[in-house]
Amino acid sequence: MVEHENIMQLVEAQYVELSRQERKVALKVLQEPEKIQQLSINHLAESVGVSNATITRFVKKMKCANFYEFKIQLAKVGVSPEPAVPTKGTIADDVYDFYQKVLKATQQLLDPKTLTEVVQLMQHSQRLYLFGLGSSGYTANEMAQRLIRMGITAFAMTDSHMMYITSGIMQRGDVILVLSTSGNTSEVNQAVTAAKKNGAQVIAITGFSRSPLVEQSDLALVVKNSNFVDNSRFVNSQFALTYVLDIITTTLLKDDHYRANMDQTVEMIMNNKLKNKKE
């Protein structure tokens, strides 16, 4: 029986110690706890591709005698009172408030039609390049890894010289996703100009609707510029960009082909980690 913490907290805490098959069950529980409560052990096993015995071992590791008791514990989480926020009135609360403002403002700026067109252009690209300097370069690298795991041919360019060199050999069918909060970085914009001359199409994600980058772009998504939020003690220029990239990623993963590729690469990584742990 779980007394000191709710069942969801226990699943999260135990996740890294679980076997590869048990992690499949844990992930389903963490992502869809309400749905799990409606499933039989047979249906759960079938939906995640494991045996009934795996689920039985899993729930016992969660300190439950059987799957029925596990579902009861899940139901208790749903009716538990909202816990008090321990960080209220602290710097942590200030940062949370900043994030809320940036997210809300960005959500209001986004055009659903343009988002759909961006995803479609990325899907039909021959090669997809991500341009970003400084902090945006780190974001570009992370996004490129996501796309590669989906089976999309993607390259992150985080050096201005490489951007310009690569732009010179681009051709029709290539697409550039440019991450630039200002939209006014000369090195990036020069590379974009060169790529456009060779027939590449450009998607911009930026904090300024009127900028040299937007003027050159085929599609542009404008996010809230964090400099315009009351954040004199805290600056995160990438938060709004990451929010939009998460929307794009989630939309792409609705495609069964991309989802299957992602699942396969995640499975390979998990297997490799378990293999290295045993060694």
| Domain CATH for 150 | 3.40.50.10490
Please check whether residue 69 lies inside any domain of the structure.
yes
The mean pLDDT of 151-162, rounded to a whole number, is 96
Are 47 and 134 members of one domain?
Answer: no
Please check whether residue 35 lies inside any domain of the structure.
yes
Please check whether residue 149 lies inside any domain of the structure.
yes
The mean pLDDT of 161-174, rounded to a whole number, is 96
Task: Look over the chain and give the mean of its residue pLDDT values, rounded to a whole number.
Answer: 89
Between 130 and 233, the more confident residue is 130
Describe the strand order of the beta sheet including 154-157 as a list of residue ranges. 154-157, 127-131, 174-180, 201-206, 219-222
Percent of the chain with pLDDT over 70: 90
Q: What domain count does the chain have?
A: 2
Q: What is the CATH number of the domain that holds 52?
A: 1.10.10.10
- The answer to whether the beta carbons of residues 258 and 250 sit under 8 Å apart is no
Please check whether residue 59 lies inside any domain of the structure.
yes
The mean pLDDT of 86-99, rounded to a whole number, is 83
Please check whether residue 101 lies inside any domain of the structure.
no
Residue 61 lies in domain: 7-82
Between 134 and 4, the more confident residue is 134
Instruction: Kindly calculate the radius of gyration of the chain based on its CA atoms and give it in whole angstroms.
Output: 23
* pTM, 2 dp: 0.76
Residue 128 belongs to what H/E stretch? strand 127-131
- The answer to whether the beta carbons of residues 255 and 147 sit under 8 Å apart is no
Binned at pLDDT 50, 70 and 90, residue 4 comes out as very low
Q: What is the pLDDT of residues 193-228, one digit of tens each?
A: 999 999 999 999 999 888 999 999 999 999 988 777
Are 63 and 194 members of one domain?
Answer: no
Q: Which of 16-30, 67-81, 116-130, 247-261 has the lowest mean pLDDT?
A: 67-81
